[in-house]
């Protein structure tokens, strides 16, 4: 069966093979048995009707994806994310109020391990130790390894640090999602910074949620830097994709670029 995968918006994770498309079909689009429209972001749902109508001429259309609360099944490499990305578990045992994962994917589920160098699990560190061992056995064959998800600061222990030291690590990403998240992050970085420089220790810092201010967000981002990570400001988006002000967007861009961050923090020391 020949399947086209269609994505409303291109991201760094979008597949780039000949049967992966972004947006509407063009004049040279071939016929397919099925057309899968994969919607990751809720704000792209408004594009679905147009895409569904346009692509119905090229095959039987199926609409799904994270934005439609798809709980996710067995991970198929290269199908809905680019090659190199792997997901070895779904769900999360935590119930963070700002996170959609427990609602969409439910409790932690272990998946068969597929080779890749970009780990995109929601919470790999919550998985049983034998699964983590198996993941790292797979990663031993990889290079430029990125933990783009799946590393919960509070669960980073000496065992997990030892595992990271055993592979060719490029980056590990943690999160600083609320004011009280600094202590677990500080403990995790305390262990990691003995072996890895700041450029390898990245951190998503959630900003722009209800009752947040630019001043408060600036404090959290600077705190993350002081702890020893390279922060990345991530604007909170609700299910309605309520737009942020120009000030918030400008602030986010400044704290998403390492060169600007380094200049800011260097200037503070002068």
Q: What is the pLDDT of residues 71-87, one digit of tens each?
A: 888 899 999 999 999 99
Whether residue 119 sits in one domain with residue 51: no
Name residue, tokens 């209800």: 210
Q: DSSP letter at 47?
A: G
Q: Give the end of a domain, one of 33, 49, 67.
A: 67
pLDDT in tens, 176-228: 988 888 999 999 999 999 999 999 999 999 999 989 999 999 999 999 999 99
Number of domains in the chain: 2
| Range(s) of the domain holding residue 156 | 72-269
Whether residue 222 sits in one domain with residue 96: yes
How far is it, in rounded angstroms, from Cα 237 to Cα 243?
A: 8
Q: Give the end of a domain, one of 67, 90, 107.
A: 67
How far is it, in rounded angstroms, from Cα 16 to Cα 224?
A: 34
Q: Give the end of a domain, one of 41, 67, 93.
A: 67
Q: Are 41 and 81 in contact (CB under 8 A)?
A: no
Write the CATH number for 101. Answer: 3.80.30
Angle in degrees, CA 205, 209, 212, rounded to 5: 90
How far is it, in rounded angstroms, from Cα 169 to Cα 151?
A: 14
Length of the chain as a residue count: 270
pLDDT in tens, 126-141: 999 999 999 999 999 9
What is the Cβ-side half-sphere exposure of residue 64, based on CA atoms within 13 angstroms? 12
Q: Which residue has the higher pLDDT, 23 or 210?
A: 23
Mean of pLDDT values over 104-118 = 92
Predicted pLDDT of residue 138: 98
Whether residue 150 sits in one domain with residue 42: no
- What does pTM read for this prediction? 0.90
């Amino acid at each position: 069966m020949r399947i086209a995968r269609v994505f409303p918006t291109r991201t760094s994770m979008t597949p780039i093979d000949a049967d992966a498309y972004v947006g509407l079909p063009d004049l040279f689009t071939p016929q397919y048995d099925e057309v899968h429209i994969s919607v990751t972001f809720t704000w792209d749902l408004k594009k679905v009707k147009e895409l569904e109508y346009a692509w119905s001429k090229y095959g039987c259309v199926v609409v799904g994806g994270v934005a439609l609360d798809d709980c996710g099944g067995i991970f198929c490499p290269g199908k809905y994310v680019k090659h190199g990305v792997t997901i070895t578990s779904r769900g999360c045992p935590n119930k963070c109020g700002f996170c959609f994962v427990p609602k969409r994917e439910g409790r932690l589920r272990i998946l068969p391990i597929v080779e890749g160098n970009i780990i995109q699990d929601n919470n790999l560190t919550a998985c049983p130790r034998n699964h983590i061992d198996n993941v790292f056995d797979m990663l031993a064959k990889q290079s430029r390894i990125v933990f783009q998800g799946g590393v919960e600061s509070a669960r980073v222990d000496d065992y997990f640090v030892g595992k990271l030291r055993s592979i060719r690590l490029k980056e590990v990403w943690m999160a600083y999602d609320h004011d009280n998240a600094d202590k677990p992050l500080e403990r995790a970085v305390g262990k990691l910074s003995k072996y890895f420089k700041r450029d390898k220790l990245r951190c998503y810092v959630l900003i722009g949620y209800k009752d947040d201010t630019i001043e408060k967000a600036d404090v959290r981002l600077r705190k993350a830097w002081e702890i020893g990570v390279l922060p990345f400001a991530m604007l909170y988006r609700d299910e309605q994709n309520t737009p942020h002000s120009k000030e918030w967007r400008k602030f986010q861009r400044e704290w998403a670029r390492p060169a600007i961050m380094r200049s800011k923090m260097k200037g503070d020391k002068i």
